């Protein structure tokens, strides 16, 4: 396992480009919603990039920190950590102002049956944050779910495709975007809307879900027959570097891998790695939730971690009994019900 962990850590190290961009960035970095799937790795990457660049800059992580030990772990790594429920007005008001804000707060799963909380987190709260941090640069995490399903032949939805969200989760995410856009126009706040799908790590993601199904000889659902995926380390680098591209009115940026990948092909590749024959249910539809990330590639360059390397690492991680997070992406969902 030590060799696999070394491999994993190498793929998480900050790039030279990130260190250079950090060195040119004025002010500290505040991460709101730092306790989720991507937040802790994002905070650590920002801190490591600061050390690599040799600059004096704080990373401040804000979350409810429901995961035991996470806050203390980040503190030990030089990341200032504040436990707060940002939906509470008093706790939000008490947070420090900061030149650079990475906004990750939001909710997805459990939307059905809890729609009011979803809208409060995904649409109401962004407006409050946008008002408080009107003098900051803000990279606001969103999702490719705001796009409609598009033909798998068209290379994914580009940023100029009008939003057409399906279901209350995606609608509330568009609400988040609209709040940041509104207050950017009102106050001149530089903002970047960061539309992500799907980030992958050894602990979670579309690739991991397919790998687990193949390894356990469970059926792989093909009704969403094509996906975009990207290494979480690259997605986190883009989020930090995107602070240099915040604008008023806001810039929209799709963040994902450059390929349109067949779910059937992914499953067969994992089958080859595990020595298993994948089992499939349903058939591929002519449309899928896909994003075109060519603008991201133009600004940030191509991901340094390929799909093949991600898959080989994931297979080795599972075979070695590595820890995973039980948070599914529900990438197969075509009706917008999460």
The Cα 165–Cα 183 span in angstroms is 21
Positive or negative CA dihedral for 79, 82, 87, 90?
Answer: negative
Total number of domains in the chain: 1
pLDDT, tens digit (0-9, with 9 covering 90-100), for 284-319: 999 999 999 999 999 999 999 999 999 999 999 999
- Burial (CB count within 10 angstroms: exposed 0-12, middle 13-18, buried 19+), residue 326: exposed
Angle at CA 328, nearest 5°, toward 203 and 264?
Answer: 90
Assess contact for 192 and 138: CB atoms under 8 A: yes
- The answer as to whether 47 is a domain residue is yes
| Ranges of H-type helices in 54-167 | 70-76, 89-93, 115-119, 125-132
**Segment (H or E) for 22:** helix 16-23
Classify 1 as helix, strand or coil.
coil
pLDDT, tens digit (0-9, with 9 covering 90-100), for 33-82: 999 999 999 999 999 999 999 999 999 999 999 888 999 999 999 999 99
- The answer as to whether 223 is a domain residue is no
- The answer as to whether 328 is a domain residue is no
- The answer as to whether 317 is a domain residue is no
- The answer as to whether 185 is a domain residue is yes
Measured CA distances, 243 to 20, 179, 253 (Å): 13, 18, 12
Q: Name the one residue in this structure whose structure tokens are 């075979």.
A: 319
Measured CA distances, 89 to 83, 124, 132 (Å): 14, 11, 11
- The answer as to whether 274 is a domain residue is no
Q: What is the pLDDT of residue 80?
A: 98
Classify 251 as helix, strand or coil.
strand
The Cα 337–Cα 109 span in angstroms is 9
Q: What is the pLDDT of residue 111?
A: 58
* Summary mean pLDDT of the chain: 95
Residues 6+ apart with CB under 8 A from 289: 144, 145, 147, 149, 197, 224, 227, 331
Answer whether residue 211 shows pLDDT above 90. yes
Assess contact for 129 and 62: CB atoms under 8 A: no
> Where in the sequence is the domain holding 170, given as residue range(s)?
2-197+230-256+292-301
The Cα 82–Cα 61 span in angstroms is 6
CATH number for position 188: 3.40.50.720
Q: Name the one residue in this structure whose structure tokens are 């126009």.
A: 185
- Burial (CB count within 10 angstroms: exposed 0-12, middle 13-18, buried 19+), residue 23: middle
Angle at CA 51, nearest 5°, toward 50 and 52?
Answer: 90
- Mean pLDDT for 128-147 is 98
- Mean pLDDT for 119-129 is 97
- The answer as to whether 263 is a domain residue is no
Rg over alpha carbons for the chain, rounded to the nearest Å, is: 19
- The answer as to whether 113 is a domain residue is yes
């Amino acid at each position: 396992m030590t060799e696999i962990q070394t491999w994993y850590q190498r793929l998480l190290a900050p790039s030279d480009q990130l260190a250079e961009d950090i060195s040119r960035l004025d002010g500290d970095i505040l991460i709101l919603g730092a306790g989720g799937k991507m937040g802790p790795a994002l905070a650590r990457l920002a801190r490591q990039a600061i050390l690599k660049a040799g600059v004096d800059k704080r990373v401040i992580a804000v979350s409810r920190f429901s995961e035991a030990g996470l806050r203390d772990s980040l503190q030990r790594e030089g990341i200032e950590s504040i436990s707060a429920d940002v939906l509470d007005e008093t706790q939000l008001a008490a947070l420090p102002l900061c030149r650079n804000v990475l906004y990750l707060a939001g909710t997805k799963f459990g939307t059905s049956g809890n729609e009011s909380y979803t809208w409060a987190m995904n649409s109401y709260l962004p407006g409050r944050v946008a008002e408080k941090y009107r003098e900051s640069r803000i990279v606001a995490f969103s999702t490719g779910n705001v796009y409609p399903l598009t033909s798998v032949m068209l290379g994914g939805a580009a940023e100029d495709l009008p939003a057409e969200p399906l279901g209350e989760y995606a609608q509330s995410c568009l609400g988040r975007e609209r709040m940041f856009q509104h207050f950017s126009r009102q106050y001149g706040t530089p903002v970047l809307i960061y539309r992500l799908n799907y980030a992958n790590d050894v602990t979670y993601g579309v690739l991991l879900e397919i790998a687990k199904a193949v390894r356990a000889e469970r059926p792989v659902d093909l009704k969403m027959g094509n996906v975009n995926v990207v290494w979480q380390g690259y997605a986190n680098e883009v989020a930090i570097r995107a602070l240099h591209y915040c604008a008023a009115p806001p810039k929209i940026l799709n963040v994902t891998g450059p390929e349109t990948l067949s779910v059937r092909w992914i499953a067969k590749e994992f089958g080859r790695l595990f020595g298993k024959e994948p089992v499939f249910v349903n058939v591929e539809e002519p449309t899928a939730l896909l994003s075109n990330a060519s603008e991201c590639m133009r600004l940030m360059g191509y991901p340094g971690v390929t799909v093949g390397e991600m898959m080989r690492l994931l297979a080795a991680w599972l075979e070695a009994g590595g820890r995973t997070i039980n948070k599914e992406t529900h990438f197969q969902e075509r009706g917008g019900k999460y």
